Amino acid sequence: MLDLDFIRKNPERVKAAVSSKHQSADVAALLSFDERYRQLRAERDRRRHEQTEKSKLVPQAKKRGEDVSALLAEMNVLKDRIQALEDEAKALEGPIRDILLQIPNVPAADVPPGSDSTGNVEVRRWGDPPKFSFKPKPHWDLCQGLGLVDFERATKISGSGFIVYLGDGARLERALFQFMLDLHTTEHGYTEVFPPFLVNRASMTGTGQLPKLENEMYCATADDLFLIPTAEVPVTNLHRDEILQEEALPIFYAAYSACFRREAGAAGRDTRGLIRVHQFDKVEMVKFTRPETSYAELESLVGNAEAVLQRLGLPYRVIHLCAGDLSFSAAKCYDIELWAPGVERWLEVSSCSNFEDFQARRMNLRYRPSEGKGTRFVHTLNGSGVALARLFIALLECFQREDGSVALPEVLWPYLRGQKELRPK
């Protein structure tokens, strides 16, 4: 969440962020509640001081043999007033926090203006889209011909939007996330984490999925636990309510997880194939940094995700998201998109975001500077490194051959026991 003092000093900037991110949060009501809350606290402190001063008069009056009943009556009135002030202030804490949780992060200064994805800015491209002497097939036809995915039985088991990988398909899926974990942990300095796939409400609130996105999540209502939409949630919450030492920063984690998203409101969109599914695999990268280094770490994070695609030889582009396309919690974000020639589309496989101290405030995650007093909130970042099944799609469609076979990138051969291609069954 945002610092309340920042909101007090920058109300118009915060209102603009709410509007640009298409959110609804009553900033004016928040400031009104906050002003009343501070008035109540100020009067409480004055009354307490008055109570203290009067309490000093009682023994003095008794020593002089004076009647103290009137003084004691005044002190009882003060006591009741202080309690009333406490109760009224306490009643405002819930509404203040509720509105704070509804306010999105403010876009960084260099985020492009724009109300939707049309305002995004392409930063760079790598590689050339493949050219074919034949009409490339979409991935669902390739999956069927190669026996990689059983869409019908997945629907029978779980409903639409779920996947059963078979044989070479299952091995390829596993090879891809194993390759990514090895790359990030051995070359990019990340520590591997294997997190729970169910998290509590506090964890979802800490990273910003709740309360805004509860309808998008799968919830085990009997236990009030949520299936994770991304490993960002459990991994970022590893240090919730902790105070880290500055010497420990930066901290890098990489995690494989299955991810679960209801995609509420997305019915009828991309229902064929693997483009939009309710369960998918992903390798996530999470960083905890000092504020001074977080934007340099964001660029490095994007480079780590790009390295995956470069090793696989897949053409991609990097997009700087505009304000209207930023997530609720992000201050700045780059998307990485792969070209999928069979469906003739760019497909997002990674979002790399800097949340600054937005998530850390929600999680009460701080660090103690090596010099100076007190604590500061860390900056948190995360990025897909990268996400399946769209990586799976692009790999099949880019490396397909006219006979329906698919060449496999050399970097994957060791993970597939030397297998260099997929051939029709």
Q: Which residues are catalytic?
A: 261, 276, 348, 351, 390
Which structure tokens are listed for 357? 């101290």
What count of other Cβ atoms lies within 10 Å of the Cβ of residue 47?
A: 18
**Do 114 and 300 form a contact (C-beta atoms < 8 A)?**
no
CA–CA distances in Å: residue 320 to residues 53, 110, 308: 61, 10, 19
Q: What is the DSSP letter of 331?
A: S
Edge-to-edge strand ranges of the sheet holding 332-340: 121-126, 316-320, 332-340, 345-354, 379-387, 279-289, 251-260, 191-193
Q: What is the DSSP letter of 1?
A: -
What count of other Cβ atoms lies within 10 Å of the Cβ of residue 152?
A: 9
The alpha carbon of 202 is separated from its chain's Cα centroid by a whole number of angstroms, namely 14
- The H or E element spanning position 248 is none
Report the candidate in 280, 283, 191 with the shortest Cα–Cα distance to residue 239.
191
* Amino acid identity at 293: T
* Amino acid identity at 177: F
200 forms beta bridges with 225
The alpha carbon of 335 is separated from its chain's Cα centroid by a whole number of angstroms, namely 14
Which structure tokens are listed for 34? 């906050």
